[in-house]
């Protein structure tokens, strides 16, 4: 009986150089695994693999040396531990994320909650080529958002609130962009220099800032045979509903315009960056 390698790959089972052996990629969202899942992965690796796993560059786990004849048993064993295979090939891949505001003091957004939402919305969607989302919580950019087809970076838009300011100047010292100055006892914000890092707000002892926690989105990142830093179209997106519309629009643009085997960056280049930018702006401006 012929082996359907394409279907196996779609379901996360990647052929190894060793005949009838597969490295199984697991579905991991935002880099988080429960203790129960970890125990299950260890058991499956011990019983069906060679007792070790590989941690991928995109926060997933792969179990090498899964035998062809054991694939159904492996799936069943994983399911008992709330774990399932991931995907490979031309479709939306694992949603990666740093720990974000739930854990990290620098975080501006809840990255894991957003990763779960994007995973539920897009995971394994069939496309002309692979498509990657990455979410980072702040301008420290630990997740390197711009390497992804769509990269999402948390940010905070600030407005100084004079009534609560004590004039200590801590925010001016905290700003790494030179966007804040103290003039005649008042804080002056240069919005052209502000990168929405939120350090001023986080450093302020009296929280003398009005804030909006939002998103900076980049498009067309690559970090493989070709390297390209994703580019932004909109400086700052203030709400999640708009963010999701922008993500929907970007992925649909790729689906509608890409050639088979063409990454998002090259689709944008071929079709025209102006056309892509106008498509995104139309959704952003008109809702």
pLDDT tens, 166-210? 999 999 999 999 999 999 999 999 999 999 999 999 999 999 999
Specify the fold of 96-286.
Answer: Sulfite Reductase Hemoprotein; domain 1 (3.30.413)
Q: How many CB atoms lie within 10 A of CB 226?
A: 9
pTM: 0.96
Percent of the chain with pLDDT over 70: 99
The domain spans of the chain are 5-80, 96-286
What confidence score (pLDDT) does residue 216 get?
A: 98
What confidence score (pLDDT) does residue 2 get?
A: 80
For residue 1, what pLDDT band results from cuts at 50, 70 and 90? low
Is residue 130 within 8 A of residue 150, CB to CB? The reply is: no
Pairing of strands 227-228, 186-189: unpaired
CATH number of the domain located at residue range(s) 5-80 in this protein: 3.30.70.3340
Using alpha carbons, list the distances in angstroms from residue 209 to 164, 187, 199, 204, 206: 8, 11, 11, 8, 9
For residue 70, what pLDDT band results from cuts at 50, 70 and 90? very high
The mean of the pLDDT values for the chain is 97
- Does residue 159 surpass a pLDDT of 90? yes
- Tell me the mean pLDDT in the region 100-118: 98
Is residue 101 within 8 A of residue 5, CB to CB? The reply is: no
- Tell me the mean pLDDT in the region 41-52: 98
| Residue whose structure tokens are 């060679």 | 50
pLDDT in tens, 122-145: 999 999 999 999 999 999 999 999
- Does residue 256 surpass a pLDDT of 70? yes
Rounded to the nearest angstrom, the gap between the alpha carbon of residue 207 and the centroid of all alpha carbons in its chain is: 29
What confidence score (pLDDT) does residue 42 get?
A: 98
For residue 3, what pLDDT band results from cuts at 50, 70 and 90? confident
- Does residue 5 surpass a pLDDT of 70? yes
What confidence score (pLDDT) does residue 200 get?
A: 98
| Residue whose structure tokens are 């830093």 | 229
Nearest to 23 by CA among 78, 76, 71: 71
What confidence score (pLDDT) does residue 174 get?
A: 97
CB burial of 71-92 (b: ≥16 within 10 Å; e: otherwise) equals: beebbebbeebebebbbbbbbb
């Amino acid at each position: 009986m012929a082996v359907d390698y394409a279907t196996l790959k779609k379901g996360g089972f990647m052929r190894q150089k060793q005949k009838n052996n597969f490295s199984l990629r697991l579905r991991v969202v935002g880099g988080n695994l429960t203790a129960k899942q970890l125990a299950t992965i260890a058991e499956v690796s011990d019983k069906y693999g060679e007792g070790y796993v590989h941690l991928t560059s995109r926060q997933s786990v792969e179990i090498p040396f899964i035998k062809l004849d054991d694939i159904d048993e492996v799936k069943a064993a994983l399911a008992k531990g709330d774990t399932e295979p991931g995907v490979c090939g031309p479709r939306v891949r694992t949603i990666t994320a740093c720990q974000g505001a739930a854990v990290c003091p620098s975080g501006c957004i809840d990255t894991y909650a957003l990763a779960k939402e994007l995973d539920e919305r897009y995971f394994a969607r069939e496309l002309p080529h692979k498509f990657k989302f990455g979410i980072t919580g702040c301008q420290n950019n630990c997740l390197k958002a711009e390497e992804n087809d769509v990269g999402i970076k948390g940010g905070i838009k600030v407005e100084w609130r004079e009534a609560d300011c004590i004039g200590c100047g801590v925010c001016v010292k905290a700003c790494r962009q030179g966007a804040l100055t103290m003039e005649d006892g008042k804080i002056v914000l240069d919005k052209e220099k502000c990168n929405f890092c939120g350090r001023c707000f986080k450093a302020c002892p009296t929280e003398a800032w009005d804030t909006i926690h939002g998103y900076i989105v980049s498009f067309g990142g690559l970090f493989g045979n070709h390297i390209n830093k994703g580019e932004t179209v909109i400086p700052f997106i203030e709400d999640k509903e708009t963010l999701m519309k922008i993500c929907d629009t970007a992925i649909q643009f790729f689906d509608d315009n890409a050639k088979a085997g063409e990454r998002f960056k090259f689709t944008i280049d071929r079709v025209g960056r102006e056309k892509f930018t106008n498509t995104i702006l139309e959704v952003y401006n008109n809702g």
